[in-house]
């Protein structure tokens, strides 16, 4: 009996003290995550001007330094966190910087009015993003603290979503009212930050209400229909997402906002009926708004018949609609890339012109790296989502589970909505591809999102402290009959 007691105590000690932190694994992966974009950067310079770009060393050192600061932050403040999230985000951010630099070198884009080098600004945004990532790790010592701010989060999210509608502050950019002007920084997209704050609210709300929402009153065609009184929350969120669609003409944020809530609702209640309701309500709302909102109608027309929009953009029309050839140019870019691509710096995706480095940045990957490159990029995004879901499964508290699944779901939805729009699968939404596309709001918000996921994973993977030795252990042993 005493040997069994000793072995039990010995095992628990090893479990507590010997738990691997995986920080060295993260460091090794970070070296690759920095080396690959530096190699790609050299490729771009050689392809465009037959010489290694002059800024190669400074770019490599800069990206390496930022990755190193992020790694030291994790090693110090979240030692048991997931080892893949930081290297994957660094790799995507580095490749995004390379593609933005590549488009900056385009003579066609340089000839456009108001052209400005975007890569230096994106490098600054990346540095700010890493700083925000480390700040989240330092100041958010326990993700469960966020649960206290459930309803404050709802209020903050509504403020962020309504800011672009404030006269004098909001900016209408090509029909979408999703931007605000910030002196010294240009424009900012508050909706990118709203998705994180909303995830906090939804996680806190659903943790309290999930039992009521899981109750079913009747069964219809294999689905458990929720009680009428429990439909309130989903109707409110649906109404707000429709209002965003009407007043800000922003299809992307509306889809993201409502989709994230439905995903979290399904995870909290395990009722398939919520997904069916969510899909039906989003379809009804989108069709209803598209029937009278010209900006949404234009995007749907461009999706249904991109070649017609391309032809109309070449002639002067008097229908009062701004016709765009961007989607057709993006489809041609994907087509000319083939399986392995034309090579970095050797494509013609700059013909997309406006938003080539933001909304349509995936088209440059598709042309210059081909189908193989696009699949690799999407797999990296898939890995980030998978690690987020794994973090949710490992989390020990229901709030952490819901928050991790909400952030992962929002991230996955954003990638799907952007990639689907550029590839012609769904109408364009005007959102940016996380980490890769040009834009300060997107980079800052997504680094903060990765920081919160790392904090949750650190708490989930941290070993429990070794229990103190119990002198009465011998007396409390349970003897099983042989």
Phi (first) and psi of residue 247, to 5 degrees = -85, -30
Spatial CA neighbour of 363 closest among 331, 339, 341: 331
Written as six digits, the tokens of 78 are 């979240």
**For position 3, what pLDDT does the model report?**
44
**For position 176, what pLDDT does the model report?**
59
Contact (CB, 8 A) for 72 and 30: no
Helix axes 306-313, 326-337, angle to 10 degrees: 120
Higher-scoring residue by pLDDT: 238, 102: 102
Contact (CB, 8 A) for 251 and 257: no
Higher-scoring residue by pLDDT: 171, 479: 171
Q: What mean pLDDT comes out for the span 111-139?
A: 91
Q: Where are the alpha helices (DSSP H) in 395-439?
A: 398-422
Task: Classify each residue of 40-60 as buried b or exposed e, where b means 16 or more C-beta atoms within 10 Å of its C-beta.
Answer: bbbbbbebbeeeebeeeeebb
**For position 466, what pLDDT does the model report?**
61
pLDDT, the chain, mean? 83
CA 236 – CA 475 distance, rounded (Å) = 58
**For position 376, what pLDDT does the model report?**
96
Written as six digits, the tokens of 360 are 């349509």
**For position 11, what pLDDT does the model report?**
36
CA 388 – CA 409 distance, rounded (Å) = 9
Confidence of residue 35 (pLDDT cuts 50, 70, 90): very high
Q: What mean pLDDT comes out for the span 370-383?
A: 96
Higher-scoring residue by pLDDT: 244, 398: 398
**For position 213, what pLDDT does the model report?**
73
Distances (CA, A) of 335 to 108, 165, 310: 21, 39, 16
- Which residues lie closer than 8 Å to 442 by C-beta, 6 or more apart? 189, 192, 432, 434, 435
Q: What mean pLDDT comes out for the span 103-107?
A: 89
Contact (CB, 8 A) for 164 and 205: no
Given a cut of 90, is residue 268 above it in pLDDT?
no
- Which residues lie closer than 8 Å to 174 by C-beta, 6 or more apart? 322, 354, 430
State whether residue 478 is helix, strand or coil: coil
Given a cut of 80, is residue 18 above it in pLDDT?
no
**For position 368, what pLDDT does the model report?**
93
- Percent of the chain whose predicted confidence (pLDDT) is above 90: 38
Other CB atoms within 10 A of residue 419 CB:
18
Written as six digits, the tokens of 234 are 């989903």
**For position 228, what pLDDT does the model report?**
66
**For position 179, what pLDDT does the model report?**
63
- Percent of the chain whose predicted confidence (pLDDT) is above 70: 83
Q: Which of 43-47, 54-58, 91-95, 336-340 has the highest mean pLDDT?
A: 91-95
**For position 70, what pLDDT does the model report?**
95
DSSP conformation class of 248: S
Confidence of residue 403 (pLDDT cuts 50, 70, 90): very high
Q: What mean pLDDT comes out for the span 217-224?
A: 65
Summarised one tens digit per residue, pLDDT across range 137-155 is 999 999 999 999 888 988 8
Higher-scoring residue by pLDDT: 355, 376: 376
CA 303 – CA 195 distance, rounded (Å) = 26
**For position 222, what pLDDT does the model report?**
65
Spatial CA neighbour of 241 closest among 206, 282, 202, 279: 282
DSSP collapsed to 3 states, 334-394:
HHHHCCCCCCCCCCCHHHHCCCCCCCCHHHHHHHHCHHHHHHHHHHHHHHHHHHHHHHHHH
Confidence of residue 83 (pLDDT cuts 50, 70, 90): very high
Strand runs (DSSP E) across 137-210, as ranges?
170-173, 176-182, 186-188
**For position 221, what pLDDT does the model report?**
66
**For position 177, what pLDDT does the model report?**
60
95-104, 368-377, 469-478: segment of lowest average pLDDT: 469-478
Distances (CA, A) of 342 to 9, 334, 347, 350: 61, 10, 6, 14
**For position 236, what pLDDT does the model report?**
79
Higher-scoring residue by pLDDT: 250, 455: 455
**For position 242, what pLDDT does the model report?**
78
CA 354 – CA 346 distance, rounded (Å) = 19
Distances (CA, A) of 475 to 2, 300, 358, 470: 11, 74, 68, 10
CA 357 – CA 112 distance, rounded (Å) = 14
Q: What mean pLDDT comes out for the span 290-312?
A: 79
């Amino acid at each position: 009996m005493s040997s069994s007691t000793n072995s039990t105590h010995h095992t628990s000690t090893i479990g507590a003290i010997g738990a691997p932190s995986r920080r060295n694994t993260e460091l090794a992966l970070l070296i690759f995550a920095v080396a690959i974009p530096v190699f790609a950067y050299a490729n771009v310079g050689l392809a465009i001007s037959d010489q290694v770009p002059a800024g190669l060393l400074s770019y490599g050192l800069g990206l390496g330094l930022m990755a190193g600061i992020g790694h030291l932050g994790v090693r110090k403040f979240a030692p048991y966190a997931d080892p893949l999230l930081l290297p994957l985000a660094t790799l995507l951010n580095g490749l995004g910087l390379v593609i933005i630099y590549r488009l900056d070198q385009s003579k066609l884009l340089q000839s456009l009015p108001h052209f400005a080098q975007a890569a230096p600004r994106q490098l600054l945004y990346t540095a700010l993003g890493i700083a925000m990532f480390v700040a989240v790790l330092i100041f958010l010592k326990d993700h469960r603290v966020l649960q206290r701010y459930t309803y404050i989060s709802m209020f903050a999210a509504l403020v962020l979503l309504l800011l672009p509608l404030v006269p004098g502050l909001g900016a209408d950019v090509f029909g979408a009212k999703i931007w605000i002007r910030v002196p010294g920084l240009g424009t900012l997209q508050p909706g990118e930050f709203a998705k994180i704050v909303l995830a906090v609210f939804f996680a806190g709300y659903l943790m309290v209400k999930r039992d009521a929402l899981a109750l079913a009153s009747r069964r219809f065609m294999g689905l458990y229909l929720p009680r009428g009184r429990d439909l309130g929350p989903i109707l409110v969120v649906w109404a707000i997402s429709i209002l965003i669609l009407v007043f800000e003409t922003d299809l992307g944020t509306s889809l993201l906002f409502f989709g994230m809530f439905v995903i979290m609702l399904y995870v909290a209640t395990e009722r398939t009926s919520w997904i069916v309701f969510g899909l039906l309500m989003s379809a009804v709302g989108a069709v209803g708004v598209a029937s009278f909102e010209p900006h949404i109608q234009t995007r749907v027309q461009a999706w249904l018949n991109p070649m017609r929009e391309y032809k109309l953009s070449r002639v002067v029309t008097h229908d009062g609609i701004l016709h765009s050839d961007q989607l057709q140019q993006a489809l041609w870019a994907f087509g000319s890339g083939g399986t392995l691509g034309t090579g970095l710096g050797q494509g013609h995706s700059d013909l997309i012109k406006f938003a080539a480095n933001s909304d349509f940045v995936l088209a440059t990957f598709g042309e210059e790296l081909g189908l193989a490159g696009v699949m690799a990029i999407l797999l990296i995004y898939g890995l980030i989502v998978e690690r987020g879901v794994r973090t949710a499964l490992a989390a020990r508290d229901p709030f952490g589970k819901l928050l991790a699944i909400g952030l992962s779901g929002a991230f996955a939805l954003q990638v799907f909505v952007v990639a689907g729009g550029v590839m012609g699968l769904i109408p364009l939404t005007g959102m940016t591809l996380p980490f890769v596309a040009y834009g300060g709001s997107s980079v800052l918000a997504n680094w903060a999102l990765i920081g919160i996921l790392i904090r949750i994973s650190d708490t989930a993977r941290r070993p429990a402290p070794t229990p103190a030795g119990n002198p009465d252990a011998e007396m409390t042993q349970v003897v099983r009959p042989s």
